[in-house]
Amino acid sequence: MATVHRMIRKATLVAVCGMAMSAVSPSQAQQASEIHLTYSKGQFQPTEVRAPADKPITFRVKNLDAKAMEFESKSLRVEKVVAANSEGIVNVRALKPGRYEFYDDFNEKARGALTVQ
Amino acid sequence: MLAALIIVFREVFEAGLIVGIVLAVTRAVPNRNRWIGGGVLGGVLAACIVAAFTGALSQLFAGMGQELFNAAILAIAVIMLTWHNVWMAHHGRQIAGEMRAMGQAVADGSKPLLALAVVVGVAVLREGSEVALFLYGVAASDGGSAPNLAIGGLIGLALGAGVCLLTYFGLMRIPQRALFTTTTVLITLLAAGMAAQAVAFLERANLLTPLDTVVWDSGWLLSEGSIAGRTLHTLIGYTDQPTQMQLVVYATVLLATFMLMRFTRSQPATRGVATG
């Protein structure tokens, strides 16, 4: 878990720096915490991720498989097709603490969850 | 096989509802099958193209290409639906009511038919591109389960067509006099719902940030993921966590349609009669 924490912290730092450097509109620069997910052989990696509450979140979902997947979550209100061997970016609004499950809509065996605290 | 069936059916379901409504709306219009069929076919072709270029589409606009694309085609559908309503309010009664002004009706009738064909095409395109991607993935994987999955997908597709027919024949049971009003209300709500969905896509792309606070959460009452929730989502744009902006846009489309229909109806709508 500590490694995940560290990863997220590092990812957040990268995200913040990235946003500071790129000329994005002020609305986009709300310091989203970034979460990296890989999808390969029909499974998410990692399957459990964490993020702080009351802060927008950006998922970066890297699909390493040879077929498309759809990153979906009812509770997060997201739905995004990620083509084979490519990366999808999914924005999520600031969330209340809780557990939010996500899955591949094309493959119900692939599941994971985001814990917001 | 069941999983594939459910995945495909879920996607086709929404398009089936919309095509069913459009068929009911145009029931008295000559040549409507050609237009609606064209819309479906165009939608399927476009869906395959979109599916083939999903990767490239995603990379556009800093990774927000899909969201922008969806918002754009929904906006087109909203405009077409609203325009259809206004047009029908202006001089649709002669066509919907009796067929006496045949020659003029055919010429006039093809205008809203084009709009509705676009709506059908957009509905099929949105849902179809995911079906195409899923089935392509099935075909690409050389596991032994591929034929099974393909059969499941085909059954799902057939069930979606069943939804379309059910919607159509359900609406056909409404007495002719009430049908015009019913379909007008349905189309207006459909348009408002699509506009709210377009807002949701723009919000996800972080392009529309004002008023993005969620107003209520009625997920405990009716989840958007349930069959009833999905049906209402398509028909009236139900969402269990609407944002302020979504509600504002929803109300605006309803109001704008109402005003436009009133405004145009007050003008003498005699063209069809005069030339017919």
pLDDT digit string, tens, across residues A45-97? 899 999 998 888 999 999 999 888 999 998 888 888 898 888 999 988 888 89
Q: Per the structure block, which two tokens stand in for B25?
A: 């709306």
Whether B137 sits inside 8 A of A68 (CB atoms) is yes
* CA dist., res. B255 & res. B239, Å (int): 20
> Closest Cα of chain B to A96: distance in Å?
12
Phi then psi for residue B103, to 5 deg, are -55, -50
CB contact under 8 A, A86 and B58: yes
How far lies B63's CA from each of A6, A65, B204, in Å?
25, 19, 11
The DSSP 8-state label assigned to residue A29 in this structure reads G
At which residue do the structure tokens 């998922």 appear? A59
Q: What pLDDT was estimated at residue A111? A: 93
The pLDDT score that the predictor gives to residue B256 is 94
**Is residue A19 predicted with pLDDT exceeding 50?**
no
The chain A residue lying nearest B212, using CA atoms, is A93
B204 to chain A, any CB pair closer than 8 A? The answer is yes
Strand partners, A49: A114
Those of residues 12-41 in B touching chain A at CB distance below 8 A are none
Question: Measured between alpha carbons, how far is B261 from B82 in angstroms, rounded to an integer?
Answer: 9
Confidence of residue A99 (pLDDT cuts 50, 70, 90): very high
Instruction: Output A6 or A22, whichever has higher pLDDT.
Output: A6
Task: Answer yes or no: do A83 and B58 touch at CB < 8 A.
Answer: yes
More confident position, B9 or B30: B9
Number of domains in chain A: 1
pLDDT(B50) > 70? yes
Residue B94: band (very low, low, confident or very high) from pLDDT cuts 50, 70, 90? low
Using CB atoms, which residue from A28, A66, A81 is nearest to B206?
Answer: A28
* CB contact at 8 A, A82 and A56: no
Query: The sheet that has A107-116: what strands, in order across it?
Result: A48-51, A107-116, A98-104, A69-73, A78-82
Residue with tokens 């929803």: B250
Over residues B264-275, the pLDDT tens digits come to 765 544 444 443
| Dist CA B11 CA B263 (whole Å) | 37
Computed over every residue of chain A, the mean pLDDT equals: 79
pLDDT-based confidence at residue B110 (cuts at 50, 70, 90): low
Query: What mean pLDDT comes out for the span B108-115?
Result: 73
Q: What is the pLDDT of residue B69?
A: 92
SS3 B267: coil
Residue A100: C-alpha distances to residues A2, A48, A51, A54, B229 (Å): 20, 10, 11, 14, 20
Could you tell me the sign of the dihedral formed by the alpha carbons of A91, A88, B190, B241, in that order?
negative
CA–CA distance, B60 with B99 (Å, rounded to integer): 49
- Nearest CB among B58, B206, B224 relative to A27 is that of B206
Cβ within 8 Å, pair B54-A81: yes
pTM of the model: 0.78
Q: Are A50 and A5 in contact (CB under 8 A)?
A: yes
For the stretch B155-185, pLDDT in tens is: 999 999 999 999 999 999 988 778 888 888 9
Displacement of CA B199 from its chain's centroid (Å): 16
Q: At A30, is the pLDDT very low, low, confident or very high (cuts 50, 70, 90)?
A: low
The answer to whether residue B61 neighbours chain A at the CB level (below 8 Å) is: no
- Domain, as residue range, for A36: 2-20+28-116
pLDDT in tens, B142-152: 566 677 888 88
Greatest mean pLDDT among A20-29, B228-237, B262-271 lies in: B228-237
Question: B182 vs A100, B176, B207, B250, CA distance in Å?
Answer: 39, 10, 35, 19
Exposed (0-12), middle (13-18) or buried (19+): which is B103, by Cβ within 10 Å? exposed
Between residues B87 and A91, the one the model is more confident about = A91
List chain B domain ranges: 2-266
Residues of B in contact with A81 (CB under 8 A): 54, 58, 66, 129-130, 133
CATH number at residue A12: 2.60.40.420
A103 SS3 class: strand
- Model pLDDT, residue B93: 56
State the pLDDT at residue B150.
82
